[in-house]
Amino acid sequence: MLSILVIEAIYLISPFSVAYCFFHLGLSPVRSTDRTGPDRLIRSGLSTEPENRFGSRFLTQNRPLIVPTPPPPPPTAARSAATPPTHDQYDINIDQKTAWVQAGATLGELYYKIWKKSKVHAFPAGVCTTLGVGGHFSGGGYGTMLRKYGLSIDNVVDAKIVDAKGRVLDRKGMGEDVFWAIRGGGGASFGVILAYKINLVPVPPLVTVFNVPKTLEENATDLVYRWQHIADKLDNNLFTRAVLQPIPGKKTGELTAGASFIALFLGDSNNLVSIMNENFPELGLKKEDCKEITWIKSVLFLAYFPDGTPETALLDRNLASPSAFKMKSDYVKTPFPKDALQGLMDTVAKSGTIQVMFNAYGGKMKEIPESETAFPHRAGNIYKIQYLFNWNEAGPAVEKQNIDAMRNLYSYMTPYVSKNPREAFLNYRDIDIGSSDNGPNAYDQAKVYGVKYFKNNFDRLVKVKTEFDPENFFQNEQSIPPSKQFNNRGR
């Protein structure tokens, strides 16, 4: 008798206490009072994306999803030389510089487990420590070491997936096309990701970080303008980002805008100051602005934990207070004009809560071809933009006002970002850019958002989907559809 696992659909409002910790969220937007309508939360398949900072997974429908419990694989089933962990969520081998990590683990837990085994190894992934590994990796996995080591998926060497037939497959069993697809194409279109095998990367015993805030009176706009021209050309060991956000003005109750320049450098402070002063002297970085700390402490620093927070905080899965939010993304290939940046700063100040984060590209990212993985946003990008608008008030009127404000900002940015297509990052799920009802016109509907997320990789993803899941068992509002034109065979 076939046993089944019934997983009730869940609907979470993602909380946060520090807004930056939505660096890699894949949710857009939160609907605090309504589960229907065009702005409903995208809820992906069982395991894989969109990611959230709690390691939870969002289901596609407001109904139970029934998945066959996989039977024990036969002796001839394809298996990896190294099997993923069965009792612990991590199997870290420092000698081989590899690890198996289960999809339900959080990034903070992964970082902590690596650190307990080695103080000079790490893994390139996001800054939000309560992100679930499953969604984070399958959508790309963007973090502060991408200019040195690429994305998380560029360091994934094997995986375990449950397909629509209930089979547990490793890289050999699923085939290279599916393995390609689940690295950046979103695992929830193809199956249930159980675990990943990753390559660990070396880090020095001490790294250097800084966070230098600037106000408009301190030429924040001019500094952001200048940063655009050097961010993707700096030393590959250096990642920088510029965060535009509302800050208190001189008068009580007044808001203005400021910019914070944040960095991780895989080296010492003397070298960092030298690099910055050679390439970005306008910032005026001094050694006293920098902190030399261990890599694991840099994780805490970049996640905005207070100084002195112990490493064990990375194991904390407790939720912060609830908040609703809307998120969007863009890619920038040509520096913004200064007047456009000034208009952006004015919008940020007036919003009261919108934050705009410019995250530098270049380095390793421009060396990897667009077709190497399903994630296509590589060479040619100066930086990626993350837009975040959060609010605590309840009610449809407030929700509409805030979502409209975000959409207006997105519209304002249109002339200054990528075009044909206007690219978007899968893990910052945005239902505004298109959705599918998974009906007869699913391919045409999906192509609208698919080319924005995946560019020229979209049709290859459709072909993989058609061969691996021809009945479209795994689906959501922005999943990859099967297409009859590619359906020469089913698996």
Report phi then psi at 68, rounded to 5. Answer: -60, 135
Joined together, the tokens standing for residue 257 give 């805008």
Q: State the catalytic residue, choosing from 111, 149, 387, 428.
A: 428
Q: What is the bridge-based pairing of β-strands 355-360 and 324-332?
A: unpaired
Note whether 458 and 451 are within 8 A (CB): yes
Q: Is residue 325 helix, strand or coil?
A: strand
**What gap in Å lies between CA 428 and CA 183, rounded to an integer?**
16
248, β-bridge pairs: 255
Joined together, the tokens standing for residue 400 give 């509409």
**What gap in Å lies between CA 466 and CA 486, rounded to an integer?**
6
Report phi then psi at 162, rounded to 5. Answer: -100, 125
Rounded-to-5 percentages of helix, strand, coil across the chain: 30, 20, 50
Reply yes or no on whether 449 is catalytic. no
First-last CA distance in the chain:
23
* Number of Cβ atoms within 10 Å of the Cβ of 131: 31
**What gap in Å lies between CA 459 and CA 450, rounded to an integer?**
9
Determine the angle formed by the axes of helices 338-351 and 220-228, rounding to 10 degrees: 130
Cis peptide before 421 (omega within 30 of 0): yes
Note whether 424 and 182 are within 8 A (CB): no
Note whether 323 and 13 are within 8 A (CB): yes
**Residues classed as catalytic:** 428
